[in-house]
Amino acid sequence: MNIVFLGLPGTGKGTQAESLAGEMGVPHIATGDIFRQAISRGTELGKKAKQYLDSGELVPDEVTCGMVKERLAEQDTKPGFILDGFPRTIAQAEALDRIMQELGRELQKVIFFSAPEDVLIKRLSGRRVCSKCGATYHVEHNPPAQRGICDKCGGELIQREDDREQTVIRRLEVNRDKTQKLITYYQRQGKLTTIDANGPLEEVQKQLKEAVGVQ
Ligand code: AP5
């Protein structure tokens, strides 16, 4: 199944995508993760993306769409994929429709993660990520067994630069109207399912599994 996860920063897309993709045996493709890896490797893509990520702005569509097109053409996406953080603009949604058509495939579902913005600010300010494997934690809602250390690989947990309060506020501003337009776009295509992402992790996961038909 080919699925898009749509939602404002901090709604839990990455956390849920990671476990669902594992269960479904499909890749979790997160545009933010691809940019961060490119930045840490110092590639051309990373050089183009860095200023945008640091300030909470969107990377230009032409850069992002080309990158997603290449990634979706890879063999491991054949059984399906979870695309997390793309599209974020109508131009990206239209590009995705074209990419899918060219690949002779179809986007089956768009899951919209809905949660109030005050909750998102708290989640993002308490988020910690593993500097080695990228696993995501929260200081209160999803803490590691040992403070500051990743359960999965023993790496050091750090705060993302763009999780500082001012940048979080900017990210919400940048994405608010665009996300609303995408909701309408996918409602018209009959692909949108909204889930309440404001509950505990397990409840969100339960709704998500029902929405995609995974037991
Ligand atoms: P990206 O990395 O995609 O960031 P984002 O959309 O801002 O989303 P986040 O990763 O911050 O949030 P999430 O919904 O995945 O939440 P998470 O599961 O981590 O993008 C970063 C940047 O890259 C952008 O600003 C932009 O510059 C660029 N970019 C990316 N895609 C782009 C595109 N398509 N076009 C242009 N530019 C692009 O959860 C958050 C926290 O909450 C965690 O601590 C987690 O443990 C906790 N949590 C999760 N669920 C729950 C729950 N149910 N209850 C309690 N806590 C929870």
Which pLDDT tens digit goes with each residue over 129-142? 999 998 999 999 99
170 pocket-lining for ligand 1 (C-beta < 6 Å): no
> For ligand 1, atom 52, which residue shows the shortest CA distance?
201
How many domains does the chain divide into? 1
**Is residue 212 a part of any domain in this protein?**
no
For residue 169, the domain's CATH number is: 3.40.50.300
28 pocket-lining for ligand 1 (C-beta < 6 Å): no
**Is residue 185 a part of any domain in this protein?**
yes
Phi, psi at 193, each rounded to 5°: -125, 130
Instruction: Report CA(15)–ligand 1 centroid distance (Å).
Output: 9
**Is residue 168 a part of any domain in this protein?**
yes
| Length of the chain in terms of residues written | 215
- CA dist., res. 109 & res. 212, Å (int): 8
- CA dist., res. 22 & res. 37, Å (int): 20
Res. 145 pLDDT band, cuts 50 70 90: very high
**Is residue 33 a part of any domain in this protein?**
yes
Instruction: Report CA(57)–ligand 1 centroid distance (Å).
Output: 13
pTM of this structure? 0.96
Which pLDDT tens digit goes with each residue over 43-84? 999 999 999 999 999 999 999 999 999 999 999 999 999 999
Strands, E assignment, the chain:
2-7, 28-30, 81-84, 109-114, 127-130, 136-138, 157-158, 192-196
**Is residue 215 a part of any domain in this protein?**
no
**Is residue 162 a part of any domain in this protein?**
yes
- The yes-or-no answer on residue 127 being catalytic is yes
Residue 186 and residue 108 in contact, taking contact as beta carbons nearer than 8 Å: no
**Contacts of residue 115, Cβ cutoff 8 Å, sequence gap at least 6:** 7, 8, 10, 11, 12, 196, 197, 198
- The yes-or-no answer on residue 171 being catalytic is yes
**Is residue 213 a part of any domain in this protein?**
no
Predicted confidence (pLDDT) at residue 215 exceeds the cutoff of 90: no
Residue range of the domain that includes 88: 2-207
Which pLDDT tens digit goes with each residue over 148-178? 999 999 999 999 999 998 999 999 999 999 9
Over residues 125-130, mean pLDDT: 94
Q: Which atom of ligand 1 is nearest to the CA of 17?
A: 18
Over residues 81-96, mean pLDDT: 98
**Is residue 48 a part of any domain in this protein?**
yes
Residue 182 and residue 86 in contact, taking contact as beta carbons nearer than 8 Å: no
